[in-house]
Chains A and B, each alone.
Chain A
C-alpha cells in the first residue's frame, strides 16, 4: 500500500515539474538510421555508432519540487568518445516536433565537426561557427533552435552575481557563437546546454576485454555486467590488455571532476568486489552493449562441446585438409580435420511470418534473372533467321552446303553461374546487436532471404556455415547443398543456425572450394559472410590466420572460383584488402540492413553478363 501511494505521488509530482513536451517527443531509435549516414557524410568516423546516452548527473540548481521528484537531477546531454556518439535517447524539450528532430541532426553534425573536445566552452562555439559558415541550411535550423532554447534557460532577471555573469556569457555564446572567449566562474554547474557536445567522462568503471579469452575467474562479474543492458552507460575501455592480462576486469578508478566544471557525483561505495554490477548501476556506468568480443568471453566458459545427443549429426568420418604455415613457408598436409555437420533434428519450417513479404518480393524480383534470355546464333533450329549467318552463306566463296545453321534461338537463363555462401558461425555472433537482436539473428535472416532470392533466380546455390575448435574440429554445417532443391527442410536448417566456436577461415574456404569445384558452371562465386578476422584458440590467430586464409583464397582463385567477402567487422578495411583485394569485399556497417543488402550485393556482383 505504501508503495502504491509512493508511486502515485511520484507520478503526480513528476508531471507537474516536467518541462518536457511528450506530444512532440522524438526518439533516437526512430531517427538513428538517418542520423548514422548523415554523420558519416559530414565526415564522422565511419566506424562509429550513434547510440543513446545515459543520463549524466549535473550539479544543477533545482527547484525544490524537482528535487523531490527526482527528474532533472539526471540530464541527458550529448557526448562522444572514439567508439560512439552518445545522444539523448529522446528529445522532448520543444513543443514542436520538428525542432526536437532538428536538435538531433544539429548534434550529429556537431559531433562530426568536433570529434574531440579540448576546451569545451571555446570548441563548441568554434565548431558551431564553422558549421554555420559552410552549411547555410544548417544555420537557419541552428538559429531556430537557439530562439527556442533561450526561453528555457534560467531567467537572467532572477540570477545575480557570478551566476548571472556566467549565464549571460552562455547565452551570448549561443546567440553569437565564437564571441565569448571564457566561461566566467561561478559555483555549481551551469544549466546543461542542449545544443552543445560535452566531453566524455574521464573516469568510470573500466571493463577490459581482449580477444584472448584465457581465464575464467571473472566469469561472475562479467555476467553481472551483462545483465545491465539498455542504453549505453558511461564506461571506459582500457587499451592496455597486458595490464589486465586480457581478462575482463572491473576497475573503479578514482572519480574526479571533468574539465569545465561538470562534476560527476562521487560514488557512495568504493568496494567493487562486493557487487560490481550494483556498483555500476549506481554509478550509471555500464558497458558491453556492443563490445562483441567482450560478450563472447562469456561463452568461452560453457564452450565444451555440446553433448552428442544435443549436437548436430556429424556426417561421415570427416575430411582432411592442408593448412599454410607462413613461418615455415610450407603446406602442412592433412593438418585440419573438417567435419561436415547436419542439423538432423531441425524440423522443416516455412519462411517465418515476419520475413514472408520480403521473401516473396525477393523471389519475384530475382526470378526476372531466370527469364533473362540470350540469343544463340547459328542454330540449326530456332525462332528467327540469323541474318549474319544467311548472308555469310551467300557471300562465302568456300561455302559448305551441309551447314544449315541459319537460325537464332532464345535460350533461357544463360547465367551459367553457381554460388556457395559460406557463413562464419563463430561464437562472436552470439553477442547482442541491440535490445532485441543478436548478431546471429541477423545472420540467420540474411541467409534465409539470400536463399529465397537465389531460389527465385534459378542459379544453382549451396549454403554452409563453419566454426572450429583447433585444427581437429573444423565444423562445416550443411544448410543447403547444391543438389537438393531449396525446400522447407533447408529452411528449417537455416532457421536452426546457432553460434559455434572459432573461425578457422582457411579450412572453411578450402572445403568450400572443393564443393564448388563439383559445379560445372562457367562462373563460380564463393560468398563469405564474415564477422571478424580469422582466429582459433591455438596458434591460428593474427598473422598466421590471415596468411593461411589468404593462401586458401589464392588457391580458390587459381581454380577459377571468385571469392567475395561481406563482413560486418568495422575494422575489416584493415585486413580484407590483403585477403580479397581492394574490390573483393564489402563492409556492412549497419548490420540490420544485411538481410536486404546481401541479395542486392549478389545481384550487383553477378550482374547481367
Chain B
C-alpha cells in the first residue's frame, strides 16, 4: 500500500463532511462492510488536520471504555481519559465504528455531545467538559438486515448529518484495487467484474456482498504470486459462504474469468 490515507471520492461526500465539520455537527455514515467508510473518515481527519480517535464498537463496550476510568499506580489512583474524552478535550474526530454493536446504554453518553450543548459530563469525576471547537463525533454502521434487531434509536439518529455509502462504481473500484494492491489493471478489472457478479447474488445465495476490501485482499494475494484461481477461491468463494453448492457455483464463475 502506497499511502494508507489515499481516498478516492465516490461522490460529494468530502464536501458534505467539510460542511458538517465547519458547523460542528456530528456525522453518521451507513453502508455495507468494507466499502470505504473507515478509510473515508481517516482521510477526512488528515484533510482537516485533526487527530482521530477510533473505537471499534462491540457488545462488551461500556460507557467507561469511551469516557475513561480510574487507574492505579504506586502513588494511588488517577483518572485516565477514554478516547471520547480525549477527542472532546484535545479536539479531534472521535470515530465510533459499527456503533450498533455497542449496547444501547453506551450511546446515551453521546447525546449531550451531539446537540447544541456539546458537553461531556463525567459522572465519576464530577467534571463537565465543554467540547473543543475541533471536536467532531462520527459514527458508522451497516444497515443490513443482520442489524435490524440492533438498529439505532430514532432519538439518537436524529442528531446526525447522515450519509449513505455503497461500493464504489466499477471504474473507481478498479483504480482503488490497483492502488491498494499494485496489481495490474487487467486483473483488477476482472476482479471488479467478478465482484459485481457476486454482488448480484446478495439476497439470494449469499448473505454478504463481496466487499471492496475482500477484492483488495484477493488482488494482494494474486500480486504476491498466488495463482489467481486459488486466490479467488480462498478470498471470495470460501469467505462469502459455507454452502457447498454456492461455493461450487462461485468456483465456476471464477473459472470464467481466470
Q: Is B184 an interface residue (CB 8 A)?
A: no
C-alpha spacing A134/B194, complex, angstroms: 11
Q: Which B residues are in CB contact (< 8 Å) with A585? A: 145
- The one of B148, B193, B245, B253 in contact with A583, judged by C-beta atoms closer than 8 angstroms, is B148
- The one of B59, B103, B201 in contact with A37, judged by C-beta atoms closer than 8 angstroms, is B201
Q: Which B residues are in CB contact (< 8 Å) with A136? A: 256-258
A605 touching B146, Cβ below 8 Å? yes
A395 touching B77, Cβ below 8 Å? yes
A392 touching B148, Cβ below 8 Å? no
Q: Which A residues are in CB contact (< 8 Å) with B255? A: 137-138, 141
In the complex, residue of chain B having the shortest beta-carbon distance to the beta carbon of A101: B252
Q: Is A607 an interface residue (CB 8 A)?
A: yes
Q: Which A residues are in CB contact (< 8 Å) with B62? A: 377
A583 touching B201, Cβ below 8 Å? no
A609-B150 in contact given A41-B197, A392-B70, A604-B145 (Cβ < 8 Å): yes
In the complex, residue of chain B having the shortest beta-carbon distance to the beta carbon of A588: B204
Q: Which B residues are in CB contact (< 8 Å) with A105? A: 252, 256
Q: Which of A38, A374, A587 has the most CB of B within 10 A?
A: A38
Considering only residues 526-564 of chain A, those with a C-beta below 8 Å from chain B are 562, 564
Q: Which B residues are in CB contact (< 8 Å) with A375? A: 60
Considering only residues 8-41 of chain A, those with a C-beta below 8 Å from chain B are 33-38, 40-41
Q: Which B residues are in CB contact (< 8 Å) with A609? A: 59, 101, 103, 149-150
A583 touching B143, Cβ below 8 Å? yes
A562-B148 in contact given A37-B249, A392-B124 (Cβ < 8 Å): yes
Q: Which B residues are in CB contact (< 8 Å) with A590? A: 204-205
A391-B252 in contact given A40-B205, A523-B149, A583-B144 (Cβ < 8 Å): no
B204 touching A137, Cβ below 8 Å? no
Considering only residues 354-398 of chain A, those with a C-beta below 8 Å from chain B are 374-375, 377, 388, 391-392, 394-396
Q: Is A586 an interface residue (CB 8 A)?
A: yes
C-alpha spacing A37/B64, complex, angstroms: 47
Q: Is B76 an interface residue (CB 8 A)?
A: yes
- Binary contact track B50-64/A, C-beta < 8 Å → 1, others 0: 000000000110101
Task: Sort chain A's interface into a size bin.
Answer: 35 or more
Q: Is A244 an interface residue (CB 8 A)?
A: no
Q: Is B185 an interface residue (CB 8 A)?
A: no
User: Main SS of chain B's interface residues?
Assistant: mixed
B72 touching A586, Cβ below 8 Å? no
A608 touching B59, Cβ below 8 Å? yes
A33 touching B145, Cβ below 8 Å? no
C-alpha spacing A584/B2, complex, angstroms: 40
Considering only residues 120-169 of chain B, those with a C-beta below 8 Å from chain A are 124, 143-150
B145 touching A584, Cβ below 8 Å? yes
In the complex, residue of chain B having the shortest beta-carbon distance to the beta carbon of A606: B149
- The one of A43, A135, A584 in contact with B257, judged by C-beta atoms closer than 8 angstroms, is A135
Q: Which B residues are in CB contact (< 8 Å) with A377? A: 62
Q: Is A99 an interface residue (CB 8 A)?
A: no
B146 touching A38, Cβ below 8 Å? no
C-alpha spacing A396/B101, complex, angstroms: 31
A137 touching B77, Cβ below 8 Å? no
C-alpha spacing A374/B258, complex, angstroms: 47
Q: Output the least CB separation between B229 and chain A (Å).
A: 9
Q: Which B residues are in CB contact (< 8 Å) with A523? A: 149
A586 touching B150, Cβ below 8 Å? no
- Binary contact track B230-256/A, C-beta < 8 Å → 1, others 0: 000000000000010110111011111
C-alpha spacing A40/B203, complex, angstroms: 11
A562-B256 in contact given A35-B249, A391-B72 (Cβ < 8 Å): no
A604-B207 in contact given A46-B200, A394-B77, A584-B145 (Cβ < 8 Å): yes
A562-B77 in contact given A388-B64, A587-B204 (Cβ < 8 Å): no
A46 touching B204, Cβ below 8 Å? yes
C-alpha spacing A588/B141, complex, angstroms: 25
A137-B70 in contact given A38-B252, A42-B197, A583-B143 (Cβ < 8 Å): no
Q: Is B69 an interface residue (CB 8 A)?
A: yes
C-alpha spacing A552/B147, complex, angstroms: 22
- Binary contact track A592-609/B, C-beta < 8 Å → 1, others 0: 010000001000111111
B249 touching A607, Cβ below 8 Å? no
C-alpha spacing A600/B243, complex, angstroms: 11
C-alpha spacing A582/B245, complex, angstroms: 27
Q: A38-B249, A589-B204 are in contact. List 7 more A-B contacts (CB 8 A).
A: A37-B250, A46-B204, A135-B257, A137-B257, A141-B255, A604-B207, A608-B59
Task: Kindly list the 4 A-B residue pairs having the minimum CB-CB distance in the complex, ordered from nearest.
Answer: A37-B249, A395-B77, A41-B197, A138-B256
22 contacts between A and B (CB under 8 A): A35-B249, A36-B249, A37-B205, A40-B204, A40-B205, A42-B200, A136-B258, A137-B254, A138-B255, A374-B60, A388-B64, A392-B70, A394-B76, A395-B70, A395-B79, A523-B149, A562-B149, A583-B148, A587-B204, A593-B243, A607-B150, A609-B149
Mark B residues whose CB is within 8 Å of A. Answer: 59-60, 62, 64, 69-72, 76-77, 79, 101, 103, 124, 143-150, 193, 197-198, 200-201, 203-205, 207, 243, 245-246, 248-250, 252-258
Mark A residues whose CB is within 8 Å of B. Answer: 33-38, 40-43, 46, 105, 109, 134-138, 141, 374-375, 377, 388, 391-392, 394-396, 523, 525, 562, 564, 581-587, 589-590, 593, 600, 604-609
